[in-house]
Structures are given as structure tokens and as C-alpha cells.
């Protein structure tokens, strides 16, 4: 992913201002270490830090239309750019960049073209003819974007908060699926899928249709001109990504350039569940597997860098971002610039362990809608910023627009967890890839239970973080927390520790307000905490806190023989670590 920064209408076109914008843009250089670009028209500046994935030789930004009256700076990937180029046959393209179509689509359609883009993106487009501009962010918020306003009347737009937080009177998250127009002076939503209203869908479940939609989403993301791989934890989501990529890689342009052997990557503490599971999946699929180890101390030492790059104080995000941050540095050192990852599946299919307690299909569906809408503040933020910290791009096929529409149209009764019918969490996804004739994965992998990423890398990771916070935050500090941090008051020493670090980097009130809060259990929304009365007393955001929903809670006599055979081979949960909490021994 690249880094963009736009400063528009700042009433200062001096060389000093240009130098200042360049200095701020360099704060984003980790996102795009391959090239830097700047376009200035009077007091309007578009800057770009490039990570070259498509057309590395000539795709430098900003990009332009034929006479350079339209300039655009883009962070993202447009997967249907070749089809769009065919529709724009009367236009002359300067580069092979997938993002250049944006300037020409604007010429043809004005502001009403964003929904034509199939991909992930954040962009700012400046029209020199009337000094107007538009900015837009992709449907789900896979790419990060912030917008701010200066006291001088300027508008600032940046891929990361650190590009604008020191110069804006107020700034906030640029909402996903929206377009900002200077002509209209505000936002409008361009992404309006059927599921967004949260009406309960009724389309019957069709396993083959769902499978084909996901295969198509993965194939799109094999578009690359640079070395790539997959992140593989050995859980269902990353294993399916890897399995589909392996099956379809051979016929792609990427395979002709980089070979048909897919590279896979995993990180964990020595002996962690993810390392073992990922190695098994890699052996089954025949990938070139790379395993990275870290210690609890390695992770603790990286926490400040992680918070600086992820720009959050959310506990779950920081726990999971740290191993991903460390792994991304190792991956980039191997010369890889792009990876495909499995974020989004749990939100779409109700895969988190607390969904076992969903009281009915209506509640389950509304919770999945809320989770998808909030992804840009959690897993999308983590996956993008933890990797972009080292100039690595993460692609997420589960968050493909077409795939989400397909998956969210299914009658949610099929997503309900029903052990009596043999339906464990994400059963509709597992069943879609349960192919007896040409298996994508062995059944014991296909039906492996969910691990939180922060747990899967090694159970002592979270225990180590809590112990470190305990040694840095006193009881007296906690007693005054509501006065020191009146908004999103930290309720644990771990949360307090992260908040201290965050506010050292980002002290502005606007920055504090960009981070969500509220009670959560096992990654739930605050509303879902109401599903079980016991959860209100055990608000740990880790998956450990979902009481009674690990595999040991399944009664095997209620499961069909095929599922029971798989689950009975799983390790039993023996070691109690807290009331109502169980982990693998």
C-alpha cells in the first residue's frame, strides 16, 4: 500500500509550505519506500509515497489525464482496471498503473464513477480547471484514510493520522464507502449494498455459489508484478485463501513471472498453535513455507512502534498487530512486497466464538452487519498498518465487494451455530469447500476451530503483555484513570499502558476520538455482550473469554459422524486460566 497526503486551499503557495508538506509526507514513507511524488497547483498540494506493485517502472504518482488538468494521488489496487481501460478506449494512458483509470473515469463521469471501481482504494483527485477536488475511500475501509480541517480554511487528507495531526484544528476518520466533494462541501455515501440496511435476507444457501464467489475474489488478488505470498496461520480462513491461491496460481501472469510455487508465512512463539497448524496446512498444499518465531520480550519491545504505526489504543488490535508487525519485517526482508490474508471472514459468517450465544438469526445477522461496518477500526486497520509499516501490502479477499454481497444475502439461519445439526461456527463456509472429489483441505483442517490471532501465536503472549502492564501501571494510577482519560476510560492496566503510549504520540483530542470503545467480550460489539449475563463480569476482548464455547463444549453425540470424527481428534481443553476461561493444554 502507498501513502497519500493532500493539502488543499491552505492560502500558502510558498516554497516553505511546499517543504513542510514534503516533510509531512515523509512521515508516510514507510508505506511507500519505492518513490516519492508531489503535484502543486498554487496553494493545493498532492503528495504520494509509492509502494510499486503494478507497473513498477512507469507507474509513479501523482497520475494525470491527457493534458494534466486532472491530477490524482491514490493508495490502492483497482482489480478491474483492464476492463475499465477497454471502456475508456478513446483516452490516452501514460502508464500501466491500475490506478490511472481514476483520472479518466472522472473525465467521463464526473463524481459518479466510484462504484465502477472493483478494488480497495483511497484517493484525492484535483481538477485544475475549476480548482475543485474529490476524495473517496473504498467500501469497507481496507485502506486507511483521515480528513482534517485547518484554521486557515484548508482541507487535509492523509493515509495516516501522523500526516495531518499536527496541522489540523480538527481531524477524523474518513468514513469508508464515502466520497467527499469540495463542490458540495461534504460527504455522500457511494456504497449502498442491500445488506447495509440490516434487513434480514432470505436467499437459500448455495454452497457452490459461495465457493465460486470466493475463488473469484482470491484470483483477482493474484494480480501483481512483484513477488508475493500468503499469510497462513493454519486456521480456516487463511488455509482457504492459501488453498484457492494454490489451485489457481498456475494460470496467472504472476506465475509466469514468479513461478507456480506459492510462498506462505506464519509467526508465533515457539510451540504455538498457529505454527503447528500452519506447517501442517503448508505440507498439505505444498507451499514454500516460512516460519518466524518471536519471544514475548520481542513483542513487548515492539509495542511502542506498533502503537505509533497502527495509531490506536484498542487492546485487541495491539495484541494482534504486534506479531503481524514483526512478521511483516521478516517477510519484506525476503524481497516479498505483497501478501494475501484472511481478515473479514469471522465478521461475515459469525465466526467468533461468542456467536455461539446468538439468540436468533435476526440478532446474529445484525451483529455481523455491525462487525463489518466497524472493520476499518479493527482488523482492516491492523492488517493494513502493521504490514505497511514495513512497505508490505496485505490483500483481503473475504472483503471483496461481490463476495460480501453474496455471503450477506444468505438467510442467516444457515449461519446459526447448531451443534445438534452438525453446524459449528462458519459452517456455511466450511461446507462450501468440503469437496469430496477434489478436496481443498483435509477435513480436520477444514473443521478446525477458531483461534483469536493474538491467542493463536502463543497463549503466553497475552499473559506476558498483562504482566508487563502490571509492572508499569500502579493501582493508584488506575484509581485516577477516569480523570486522566475521561473518554474511553481504560478499565485494565494493559489498556492504561497502551493509552499512555498512544497519547504521547497523538495527544490531540481528535486523535483520541478516532479509537472505538465500549464493553466487548471475545471481539463482540457492546450489544452482543447482552447475549450472556455472565459476560458482563469477564470483559476480556480475547477469544478466551467466550464461556463454554471451545470444542470441549460440543457434545459429540449431537454431531454427525463426519464432524464428530474430526472434532474428537482435537486436543481437549484442560488448563483453566481464569473463571469461565479455558485454553489448550
Residue 465 labeled ligand binder: no
Tally of CA atoms within 13 A in the half-sphere of 51 that contains its CB: 29
d(CA 99, CA 568): 50
Nearest to 114 by CA among 187, 49, 58: 187
Nearest to 451 by CA among 359, 522, 535, 555: 522
Q: What is the rounded (10 degree) CA torsion for 248, 249, 254, 260?
A: -160
Residue 342 labeled ligand binder: yes
d(CA 266, CA 231): 6
Give the 3-state DSSP-derived string for 182-207, with helices as H, strands as E and coil as C.
CCCCEEEECCCCHHHHCCCCCECCCH
Q: In what order do the strands lie in the sheet with 186-189?
A: 63-64, 70-78, 119-127, 132-137, 178-181, 186-189
Residue 231 labeled ligand binder: yes
Question: CA Rg, the chain, in Å?
Answer: 23
Q: What is the rounded (10 degree) CA torsion for 205, 208, 209, 211?
A: 110
Residue 442 neighbours by CB under 8 Å, 6+ apart: 284
Helix 379-388 to helix 296-310 angle (10° resolution) is: 100
Active-site annotation, residues = 2
Residue 454 labeled ligand binder: no
Q: What is the rounded (10 degree) CA torsion for 9, 106, 398, 338?
A: -70
Residue 5 labeled ligand binder: no
Which whole-number Å values give the CA distances from 455 to 272, 460, 462, 546, in the listed order? 9, 8, 7, 13
Q: What is the rounded (10 degree) CA torsion for 14, 16, 18, 20?
A: -150
Pairing of strands 338-340, 393-395: parallel
Nearest to 389 by CA among 334, 447, 322, 449: 322
Nearest to 551 by CA among 413, 420, 425: 425
Residue 252 neighbours by CB under 8 Å, 6+ apart: 219, 222, 223
Looking at residue 584, the DSSP 8-state letter turns out to be -
Decide: helix, strand or coil at residue 377: helix
Q: Would you list the DSSP string of 57-113? A: TT--SSEE-TTSSEEEEEEEEETTHHHHHHHTTTS--SS--GGGHHHHHHHHHTTTT
d(CA 36, CA 21): 12
Q: Would you list the DSSP string of 480-548? A: THHHH--SS---SHHHHHHHHHHHHH--SHHHHHTS--S--STT--TGGGGG-GGGGG---SSGGGSTT
Q: Which residues are annotated as a binding site for L-glutamine?
A: 98
Q: Which residues are annotated as a binding site?
A: 98, 231, 267, 341-342
Q: Which residues are annotated as a binding site for ATP?
A: 231, 267, 341-342
Amino acid at each position: 500500500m502507498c501513502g497519500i497526503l493532500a493539502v488543499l486551499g491552505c492560502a500558502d503557495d510558498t516554497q516553505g509550505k511546499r517543504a513542510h508538506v514534503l516533510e509531512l509526507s515523509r512521515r508516510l514513507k514507510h508505506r511507500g519506500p519505492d518513490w516519492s511524488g508531489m503535484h502543486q497547483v498554487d496553494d493545493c498540494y498532492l503528495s504520494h509515497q509509492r509502494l510499486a506493485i503494478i507497473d513498477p517502472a512507469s507507474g509513479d504518482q501523482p497520475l494525470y489525464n491527457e493534458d494534466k488538468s486532472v491530477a490524482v494521488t491514490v493508495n490502492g489496487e483497482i482489480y478491474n482496471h483492464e476492463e475499465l481501460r477497454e471502456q475508456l478506449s478513446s483516452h490516452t494512458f501514460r502508464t500501466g498503473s491500475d490506478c490511472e483509470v481514476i483520472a479518466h473515469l472522472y473525465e467521463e463521469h464526473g463524481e459518479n464513477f466510484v462504484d465502477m471501481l472493483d478494488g480497495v482504494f483511497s484517493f484525492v483527485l484535483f481538477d485544475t480547471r475549476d480548482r475543485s477536488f474529490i476524495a473517496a475511500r473504498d467500501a469497507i475501509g481496507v485502506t486507511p484514510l483521515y480528513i482534517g480541517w485547518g484554521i486557515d480554511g484548508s482541507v487535509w487528507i492523509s493515509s495516516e493520522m501522523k500526516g495531518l495531526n499536527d496541522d489540523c484544528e480538527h481531524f477524523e476518520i474518513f468514513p469508508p464507502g464515502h466520497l467527499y466533494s469540495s463542490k458540495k462541501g461534504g460527504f455522500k455515501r457511494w456504497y449502498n449494498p442491500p445488506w447495509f440496511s440490516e434487513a434480514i435476507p432470505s436467499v437459500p444457501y448455495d454452497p457452490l455459489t459461495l465457493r465460486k464467489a470466493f475463488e473469484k475474489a482470491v484470483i483477482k488478488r493474484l494480480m501483481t508484478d512483484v513477488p508475493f505470498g500468503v499469510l497462513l496461520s493454519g486456521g480456516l480462513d487463511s488455509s482457504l485463501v492459501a488453498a484457492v491461491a494454490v489451485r489457481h496460481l498456475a494460470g496467472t501472469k504472476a506465475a509466469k513471472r514468479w513461478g507456480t510455487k506459492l510462498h506462505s508465512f506464519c509467526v508465533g512463539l515457539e510451540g504455538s498453535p498457529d505454527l503447528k497448524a500452519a506447517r501442517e496446512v503448508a505440507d498439505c498444499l505444498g507451499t514454500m513455507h516460512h516460519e518466524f518465531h518471536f519471544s514475548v520480550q520481542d513483542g513487548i519491545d515492539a509495542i511502542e512502534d506498533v502503537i505509533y504505526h497502527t495509531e490506536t489504543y484498542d487492546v485487541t488490535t495491539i495484541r494482534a498487530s504486534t506479531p503481524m508487525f514483526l512478521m511483516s519485517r521478516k517477510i519484506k526482508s525476503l524481497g516479498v512486497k505483497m501478501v494475501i490474508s484472511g481478515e473479514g471472514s469471522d465478521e461475515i459468517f459469525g465466526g467468533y466464538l461468542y456467536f455461539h450465544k446468538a439468540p436468533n438469526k435476526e440478532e446474529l445477522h445484525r451483529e455481523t452487519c455491525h462487525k463489518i461496518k466497524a472493520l476499518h477500526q479493527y482488523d482492516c486497520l491492523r492488517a493494513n498498518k502493521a504490514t505497511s509499516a514495513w512497505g508490505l501490502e496485505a490483500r483481503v479477499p473475504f472483503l471483496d465487494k461481490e463476495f460480501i454481497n453474496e455471503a450477506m444475502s444468505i438467510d442467516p439461519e444457515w449461519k446459526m451455530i447448531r451443534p445438534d445439526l452438525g453446524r459449528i461456527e462458519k459452517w456455511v463456509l466450511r461446507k462450501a469447500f468440503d469437496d469430496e472429489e477434489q478436496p481443498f483441505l483435509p477435513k480436520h483442517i477444514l473443521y478446525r476451530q477458531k483461534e483469536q490471532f493474538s491467542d493463536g501465536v502463543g497463549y503466553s503472549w497475552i499473559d506476558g503483555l498483562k504482566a508487563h502492564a502490571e509492572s508499569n501501571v500502579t493501582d493508584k494510577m488506575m484509581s485516577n484513570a477516569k480523570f486522566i482519560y475521561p473518554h474511553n476510560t481504560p478499565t485494565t492496566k494493559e489498556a492504561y499502558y497502551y493509552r499512555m503510549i498512544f497519547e504521547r504520540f497523538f495527544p490531540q483530542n481528535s486523535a483520541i476520538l478516532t479509537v472505538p470503545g465500549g464493553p466487548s467480550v471475545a471481539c463482540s460489539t457492546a450489544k452482543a455482550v447482552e447475549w450472556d449475563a455472565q459476560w458482563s463480569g469477564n470483559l476480556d476482548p480475547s477469544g478466551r473469554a467466550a464461556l463454554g464455547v471451545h470444542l470441549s463444549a460440543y457434545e459429540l453425540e449431537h454431531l454427525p459422524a463426519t464432524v464428530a470424527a474430526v472434532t474428537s481428534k482435537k486436543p481437549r481443553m484442560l488448563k483453566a486460566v481464569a473463571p469461565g476461561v479455558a485454553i489448550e493444554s
